[in-house]
Structure 1
Amino acid sequence: MHIRTFRAASLQDALETIRHQMGADASVLHTRQVRDGWMGWLGRTYVEVTAGLRDGDESAEPGPTFDEDADELTDCAALPIRSVYLKNEASLPGPLESYRDQLMEFGVAPRTADRWLQATESFTAGLGDSIGEPWMEHLQRSITRELRIGGPIRTQPGAKHIVALVGPTGVGKTTTIAKLAAGFRIQERRRVGLVTIDTFRIAAVQQLEAYAEIMDLPMEVVEKPSQMQPAIERLGDVDLVLVDTAGRSPSSDARIDQLVELLRTAQPDETHLVMAATSSASTIRSVLKGFAPAHPTAAILTKLDEASSTAGVLSAITASDDFAGIPLSYLTHGQQVPDDIQVAEAEPLLKRLLPGTLTREQMDAA
């Protein structure tokens, strides 16, 4: 077999080159995204595709095939380039084609990018010359249809409502707990109690204790499951209990099992998975998979102000054929307590879809 590797700005460009140089009978053997530059930094992202062409009329042997949702290829029969190319061959309007390359550059899987863009084209097809709005706004609307907004935490006076925050290290869970506590204490005038089981980081406990003292909130520290219910009872007659947990790696099964056991004893009414908007699509998918045993009911996206693009994150959390999506409850966009938090809505996320994204209102204001 004759094997060659091609690198291009997009998958479609690579397939076009392979088809011209090796013919339609070539098979895709491997595909991945790569970044040039020093150790992957300060460089551009490319799609690298390895293709093979058999000599003569030998029958095909088992080999890897192209999976549009994966960074690598799965072990199945090799797929001829003509079959792969036909999936991406439908032409898109110029602006949408350029968006496809940008979406993939920021980690959106080809299949997801195509779904978004084809939905956008279908929506605009019936508008004809009356489109009237930038293509980006139509693309944002297409993504909005897949985005789940779950709404904020809701409490009732006199009914103890327990909410736990879980997630990986460094995403801002403790600061988010403080923002939520301040909002419910000051704005909603609810009685709030705090529980922390982040005993792995003494500084985190001290940080939460400082917030509790400033806001005059009861707080309990729990080190093992048997202490959880007594701690919640000592908080007294509160309306809302916010449970802060230690950051855990989604790939650490043992640590996740410990978290699940603590949550089982806490019996939260809601469990919010905290993730950073600055994370890559692959990282978000890993977090969703790793924390699935904790049965999160909603997600909080933090550090929105630091995210250069939300395309990858949105591609990981929105609904698709094989994923129901996860509802968003809150967004945070800074370190200020209690100011830099808001109930989740689509507009702030889509405003940062790609670098330089502008809505019509922003263009008019400029």
Structure 2
Amino acid sequence: MHIRTFRAANLQAALAEIRTQMGPQAAVLHTRQVRDGWMGWLGRTQVEVTAGLRDAAEQPRRERLQRSENSPHRETEMLRERLIRVGVSDSLAQRWSQRSEATMRQQHSGQAVAFSQPSLEAALKRVVASDLHCGPPIRSLPSQRRVVALVGPTGVGKTTTVAKLAAGFRLQQQRRVGLLTIDTYRIAAVQQLQAYADIMDLPMQVVERPEQMQTSLEALGDVDLVLIDTAGRSPNFAARIDQLRVMLQAARPDETHLVVSATSSAASTARVLQGFASIRPTATIVTKLDETEQTAGVLAALVEHQAAPLSYLTNGQQVPDDIESSDREKLVGPLLGTTAVLPVAA
């Protein structure tokens, strides 16, 4: 597969450039927000999109689709190809596409079924939604302190998500909320969370070592909910994950939410789920739905690796608006996007 990376002011401009330079057959593999300038300072925020285009070595698969053009399962095979192109494993793509076909046949029992990509994709969304395990949001009751930690790799929006949750519980549910951060590695991380705490008039503590944890939790006072922001950790470095695990053991959180980005590929999400398994997350938050064109990759990884139940999803930077309880329909809405259609060559 031929892979290229594009940067533009927004996602739409990047997609237009991809189609111009690589053609309509190109598939979006990964998106993220970046800043130019020195170390991201004084620079512009841009969208970086990685796209892939199949090369001649993959032509036999296309030819197989052509030979099956008159087959009753041609559309199902095309759907399977589309899933594979956005990172879904062969086995799961096969299972999802076959279940989609079976769903359509069941809906039209005793009638002729007119298969098409739009109708099969609608069936696929129902199939994927049924595989997603959605759990409850954070449970917070007055005068019953609950400690909740957010963990995950760098760049997935943990601090912003902590701020959204804090604002929601403080302003909408009138809970007494305290913030605690152990993210003393990232430049300006403490200042960012402190700014949110000041705006919402919330107590906040900074913890650098496990032995400081209980004292800092007590210093937050009589709060109903403690939200812990953690440093981003690469799932490839077990030693850093172990450091995080030791810190969380000192905090003894009631809930630990693993934060993953909807812009990540299936392979990247799988590495995150495997790398943070020792933390034993109790829930999963999917962020940046507004920054991705398709969610099939990240959802495939969540299903295949049996991720903890989905608790929240976020779809923007606005605090506290752009967060809501997990919603299957919204997660599968952009399932395959618009660039994943595989045309059959004439």
> Which TM-score band (shorter chain)?
0.7 to 0.9
Return 5+ residue gaps in structure 2 as ranges: 7-28, 30-49, 61-67, 340-346
Does 1:350 pair with 2:328? no
Offset, 1:144: 1.3
DSSP 3-state at the match of 1:274: strand
Rg comparison, structure with higher value: 1
The aligned amino acid for 2:105 is A
Offset, 1:36: 4.8
The aligned amino acid for 1:340 is D
Does the aligned pair in 1 maintain the 2:101–2:120 contact within 8 Å? no
What is the aligned length? 282
Within 5 Å, give how 1:261-276 maps onto structure 2.
261-276=246-261
Does 1:336 pair with 2:303? no
Q: 1 CA distance for matches of 2:57 and 2:151?
A: 36
Which residue of structure 2 aligns with residue 99 of structure 1? 79
Does 1:305 pair with 2:287? no
Does the aligned pair in 1 maintain the 2:284–2:307 contact within 8 Å? no
Change in 2 beyond 3 A, CA 1:131/1:112: same
Does the aligned pair in 1 maintain the 2:273–2:307 contact within 8 Å? no
The aligned amino acid for 1:353 is L
Does 1:290 pair with 2:275? yes
Does 1:122 pair with 2:102? yes
Within 5 Å, give how 1:58-73 maps onto structure 2.
none
DSSP 3-state at the match of 2:188: helix
CA shift digits 1:282-303 (9 cap, x unpaired): 0000000000111111111111
CA shift digits 1:114-166 (9 cap, x unpaired): 11111122222232438699222211111112111012101111010000000
The aligned amino acid for 1:345 is D
The aligned amino acid for 1:351 is G
1:253 to 232, 238, 256: 238
Which residue of structure 1 aligns with residue 53 of structure 2? 44
Q: 1 CA distance for matches of 2:307 and 2:51?
A: 32
Does 1:214 pair with 2:199? yes
Does the aligned pair in 1 maintain the 2:293–2:338 contact within 8 Å? no
Which residue of structure 2 aligns with residue 242 of structure 1? 227
Offset, 1:47: 9.4
Does the aligned pair in 2 maintain the 1:92–1:121 contact within 8 Å? no
Structure 1 stretch displaced more, 348-357 or 158-167: 348-357
Does 1:142 pair with 2:127? yes
Q: 2 CA distance for matches of 1:36 and 1:130?
A: 41
Return 5+ residue gaps in structure 1 as ranges: 1-33, 52-87, 358-366
CA shift digits 1:187-225 (9 cap, x unpaired): 111000000000012411101000000000000000000
CA shift digits 1:223-265 (9 cap, x unpaired): 0000011100111111100000000101111111100000000
DSSP 3-state at the match of 1:134: helix
Offset, 1:48: 5.5
Q: 1 CA distance for matches of 2:76 and 2:129?
A: 17
Task: Determine which structure has greater relative contact order: mean sequence separation of CA pairs < 8 Å that are 6+ residues apart, divided by chain length.
Answer: 2
Which residue of structure 1 aligns with residue 2 of structure 2? 35
- Identity, % of aligned pairs? 54
Offset, 1:46: 5.6
Normalised by the size of structure 1, how large is the TM-score? 0.72
| CA RMSD across the alignment | 2.4
Offset, 1:38: 8.2
Change in 2 beyond 3 A, CA 1:284/1:38: closer
DSSP 3-state at the match of 1:282: helix
Which residue of structure 1 aligns with residue 300 of structure 2? 315
Structure 1 stretch displaced more, 193-202 or 280-289: 193-202
Q: 1 CA distance for matches of 2:57 and 2:218?
A: 57
Normalised by the size of structure 2, how large is the TM-score? 0.76
DSSP 3-state at the match of 2:312: strand
